[in-house]
Amino acid sequence: MSDRGDAEGRPAEPEPAPEPGSEPGNVAGPPPQPAPKPRLQRPEPVGPEPEERFGRLMKQFPVAVSSEVMALAWANQEQAPAGAAVLVDHEINPRGLHGRLWDTPPADTMALAIVLRPPVSVEEADCTWLVAALAGLEGAEAVTGKALATWWPDAIIEAESRDPVGSVRSEIQLGPGQVKVAVVTIRIDMPRLDLDPATDRDRLCEAVVLASDRINEQLAQGVAGVATAYQDRCTLLGQRVKVRLRPKGETRGVAKRVDRAARLEVESMSGMAERVGVNQLMDLEVV
C-alpha cells in the first residue's frame, strides 16, 4: 500500500470525514418531528341545554329512560353543579330501591332527580336517602296541605291512612375518601294527592327542589340534624317488624330509630339491637 503525496513528496492532507447521514446510501433530511398530540374530544352534551328555573340549572325531557339516568350522565359528563335538577315527563324505565319498578303511569307522575355533592363521609353517604324522602315529603305537603310521613327507607306515605304516595332513591358514587356525587330521585303519584298533573307538576317540582335546598343546608351543618328530622316523620318507628336481609337471613324486633348512616335499628325482645343498612334490606313487613 502506498501513501498519496504531492509532486514534492509532502504527505497529502487527510480527507474530511463525511457529514453524518451523508454516507453512501443515506440521504440527509430534516430531523424527525414529534407525533402530533391527539385532540381531546369534549363529551357530547346530555340532552337539551340547561335552563335557569327555580334558582338552579334544570333540564326537562319529554321522554327519557329515567330522570336518574339523565341526571347521572349530566353530573358525570358535564359536571352538573350541586342542586341541578332533571324533570322527565315520561320515564321509560323508572326504578326504585333494588330495581323495583315504579308502576304509577308516567302521565300521573312527577319524576324529579336532583344532583347532590354532599359534604359527608363515605360511611354516612346513605344519609342522602333521608334527604330525598324529606324533600319529597315537605315539598308535597307545602303544595297540598296534606299530612304526610316517611316509611323507611324509600317511601312517602299519607300519615293517617299510610297509603303510599311517593318513592325515593339515591344513587351514590364515591371518590377517594369522599362522596363524589349523589343523585336523589323523587317520584310522586300526583292524583293520590289530588293534584292535576297538567297544571300542578311545575308547582310541585318547585316546592320539592326548594325543600331539597333547605335540607341540604341543614346537612352542611351535620348529618345528625337530618337524621333527627327524618325520625320525627317516620311512622315505621315503634312498629314490630320482620326484616329479610340480603343476601340471606332475617331479624325481628321493634323499629327503634334511624341513625346518621340511614340504618334502621331493630331491637329484639332480648334487648339486642341490630342495625340494617338500606342496601342490606330485602323486604320489610309489620308483624
Q: Cβ of 192: how many Cβ atoms within 10 Å? A: 16
Backbone CA torsion sign across 17, 19, 21, 24? negative
Q: Which CATH architecture has domain 51-233?
A: 2-Layer Sandwich (3.30)
* Mean pLDDT, range 239-245, rounded to an integer: 97
DSSP, res 280: G
Asked whether residue 1 carries a pLDDT value surpassing 50, the answer given is no
| Closest by CA position to 130, among listed 213, 228, 204 | 228
pLDDT score for 20: 53
Residue 261: predicted pLDDT: 97
CA–CA distance, 69 with 61 (Å, rounded to integer): 12
Q: Mean pLDDT throughout 75-92?
A: 97
How much is the pLDDT for 94?
97
pLDDT of 13: 57
Poorest-pLDDT segment among 1-5, 41-45, 281-285: 1-5
Quote the DSSP letter at residue 32: P
Rounded to the nearest integer, the mean pLDDT of the chain is 90
Model pLDDT for residues 103-157, shown as the tens digit of each residue: 999 999 999 999 999 999 999 999 999 999 999 999 999 999 999 999 999 999 9
What is the tens place of the pLDDT at every residue in 22-63? 555 555 556 666 666 655 455 566 778 999 999 999 999 999
The CATH class given to the 240-286 domain equals: mainly beta
Strand 281-286 versus strand 240-245 pairing type:
antiparallel
CA dihedral 188, 190, 191, 193 (to 10 degrees): 80
Please provide the distance, in angstroms rounded to a whole number, between the alpha carbons at the two ends of the chain. 115
Give CA separation, 257 vs 36, 249, 266, in Å: 61, 21, 8
| pLDDT attached to residue 2 | 44
Ordered by start, the domain boundaries in the chain are 51-233, 240-286
Measured over the CA atoms of residue 202, residue 203, residue 209 and residue 210, the dihedral's sign is positive
192-224 pLDDT tens trace: 999 999 999 999 999 999 999 999 999 999 999
Nearest in space to 114 (alpha carbons), one of 47, 162, 61, 59: 59
Q: Which of 90, 120, 121, 119 is nearest to 104 (CA)?
A: 90
The answer on pLDDT for 4 being more than 50 is: no
pLDDT tens, position by position, 95-112: 999 999 999 999 999 999
Q: Do strands 109-116 and 51-53 pair parallel, antiparallel, or not at all (unpaired)?
A: unpaired
